[in-house]
A = this chain, B = another copy of it.
Amino acid sequence: MTIQASGSVEKWGVFELPLRGPSTGNPFRDHSVQAVFRFGGREVKVNGFYDGEGKYLVRFLPDREGEWSYETISATAELNGVSGRFECVPPSAGNRGPVRVRDAYHFAYEDGTVYHPFGTTCYAWIHFGEEMQEQTLQSLSGARFNKLRMCVFPKHYAFNTIDPDIYPFEQKPEGGFDLTRFNPLFFAKLERRILDLQKLGIETDLILFHPYDEGHWGFDRMDAAVDDFYLRYAIARLASIRSVWWSLANEYDFMKEKTLTDWDRLFRIVQEEDPYSHLRSIHNGTRMYDHGSIRFYDHAKPWVTHLSVQHWDVTLPPIWHRQYAKPMVIDECCYEGNLPQRWGNITAEEMTRRFWDSVARGAYCAHGETYADPENDIWWAKGGKLHGSSPERIAFLREILEEAPDNCSPIPQIYDVPTIGVEGEYYLQYFGLHRPCYRDIPLPEEAEFAVDIIDTWAMTVTKVEGTFSGLSRVELPDKVYQAVRIRRIK
């Protein structure tokens, strides 16, 4: 954890107040500390946590420049009544604050900059050796992903059955875990990796629970009190990091030990305990053959900020939008690779198509890679190296979208090809597996437009000769994976 000097801290950085306190008994359970942070008339109350060896920490994420004051509150005398002040200074380059929901389709950083998620998935990368983790960061620094889905708990699953050396809970000498004691070293590692990602401009979509345990360690079937205890500790430690998103679960519906009431309770805890309202979502699993069995959590509930979906049919976002009117990320649409499992063997072409077909319908998509490997070093679980051909195409799409107006959203009047844009100003339409040889485009008469043909696979942008007004015929290359971009120039 990078600890900010208490004298000053940048806006949306982490202010950290270290305290000394009792180390006997079980300090995780027996002692607690809060602090109230004040700015003008505003008060923010945050929970501290025990960090081992008599050390207690209170972390805070200031969102206003200027002088903040604080004061601790605790039933434990040594932790009570510690007060002080610090100066919140302007954010450093690249620090735009936490990502927020901007409107029914979009995210934006707190500084107002639009944020288009282009994520990838390395579920358990922090649970493998340091060298592999460094390799993962190296790979990510060469790609253009800006979100990573990853789990707190380790994963015990196909291609991925190695036990990690360190766990969120303390290991008992006789085997098993002491579920009343956390391992601060594990959380320190987790925090370090989240900050490593942050330095690369990558948000962490942190998966708090997942089913890929099936009793091997038992983290998928802790009782409610332990779940809550863990969740409060994780929030106290991590909420001050601006790049954290809370993903309540991966494939929540595959966690047979939990009910919808459990998920409601866990969501409410996150909502109440996180003073900064980081993004909150929950990701569905599904039997892929049988459409009928997909069970979304009710994303309309007020504590769900956006949809984090698993679905292979990326034409569905308009339906979800009508139902939920929240930003949508298809965090799993299958992975580029060649594993025997259906979710892990689509081509780079298909992965790229799913990104474009999602974006052209007002949603976002996410990447994952699952090429069979003799060592089972598979990106989706362990990170390491990327082998596929979709990441550069995804980066290309990200560029296109970042050049577009911020408020692009679906234009349903153009019903026959998915199109986002701003009426009269900008249109981005994607033909995908369709390959028209021309298109008649009804443009406003009173303006002039430039038209580009984008080959989303070849990653080329070809300007169509001339400018266009009124009903305009545009010849298109007789090929799949083409998009058309139309921009008002006069």
- Residue A412, interface by CB 8 Å: yes
A433 to B342, CA, bound (A): 10
Question: Which B residues lie within 8 Å of A313 (CB)?
Answer: 313, 315
Inter-chain contact A339/B437, CB cutoff 8 Å? yes
- Residue A302, interface by CB 8 Å: no
- Copy tally for this chain in the complex stands at 2
Q: Which residues of A, 332-356, contact B by the 8 Å Cβ criterion?
A: 334, 338-342, 345-347, 350
A315 to B319, CA, bound (A): 18
Interface of A is mostly: loop
- Residue A438, interface by CB 8 Å: yes
Inter-chain contact B437/A480, CB cutoff 8 Å? no
* Residue in B339, B347, B478 whose CB lies within 8 Å of A338: B478
Inter-chain contact A340/B289, CB cutoff 8 Å? no
* Residue in B315, B416, B417, B437 whose CB lies within 8 Å of A372: B437
* Residue in B316, B347, B433, B439 whose CB lies within 8 Å of A350: B433
A104 to B364, CA, bound (A): 40
- Residue A368, interface by CB 8 Å: no
Question: Which B residues lie within 8 Å of A489 (CB)?
Answer: none
Q: Which residues of A, 430-482, contact B by the 8 Å Cβ criterion?
A: 431, 433-440, 478, 480
Contact (A436, B289) CB under 8 Å given A313-B313, A347-B480, A480-B347? no
Question: Which B residues lie within 8 Å of A490 (CB)?
Answer: none
A288 shortest CB reach to chain B, Å: 6
- Residue A172, interface by CB 8 Å: no
Q: Which residue of B lies closest to A353 (CB)?
A: B433
Contact (A341, B416) CB under 8 Å given A346-B433, A347-B480? yes
Contact (A415, B340) CB under 8 Å given A434-B346, A435-B347? no
Question: Which B residues lie within 8 Å of A301 (CB)?
Answer: none
Q: Which residue of B lies closest to A419 (CB)?
A: B289
A64 shortest CB reach to chain B, Å: 44
Question: Which among A318, A338, A346 has the greatest number of chain B C-beta atoms within 10 A?
Answer: A338
- Residue A322, interface by CB 8 Å: yes
A190 to B318, CA, bound (A): 44
Contact (A412, B339) CB under 8 Å given A346-B434, A347-B433? no
Question: Which B residues lie within 8 Å of A439 (CB)?
Answer: 340
Question: Which B residues lie within 8 Å of A340 (CB)?
Answer: 436-440
Inter-chain contact A437/B338, CB cutoff 8 Å? yes
Question: Which B residues lie within 8 Å of A316 (CB)?
Answer: 291
Question: Which B residues lie within 8 Å of A338 (CB)?
Answer: 435-437, 478
* Residue in B288, B292, B434 whose CB lies within 8 Å of A345: B434
- Residue A42, interface by CB 8 Å: no
Over the window 281-308 of chain A, the binary record of Cβ atoms lying under 8 Å from chain B Cβ atoms (1 yes, 0 no) is 0000001111110000000000000000
Inter-chain contact A416/B322, CB cutoff 8 Å? no
A-B residue pairs, 3 tightest by C-beta? A289-B415, A338-B437, A340-B436
Query: 11 new A-B pairs (CB below 8 Å) besides A287-B415, A345-B435, A350-B433?
Result: A289-B416, A289-B417, A291-B318, A292-B322, A313-B315, A338-B436, A340-B438, A340-B440, A342-B417, A342-B434, A345-B436
Interface residues of chain A, those whose CB is within 8 Å of chain B, are: 287-292, 313, 315-316, 318-319, 322, 334, 338-342, 345-347, 350, 372, 412, 415-418, 431, 433-440, 478, 480
Sample 5 A-B pairs with CB under 8 A, ordered by A number: A289-B412, A338-B437, A338-B478, A342-B417, A345-B434
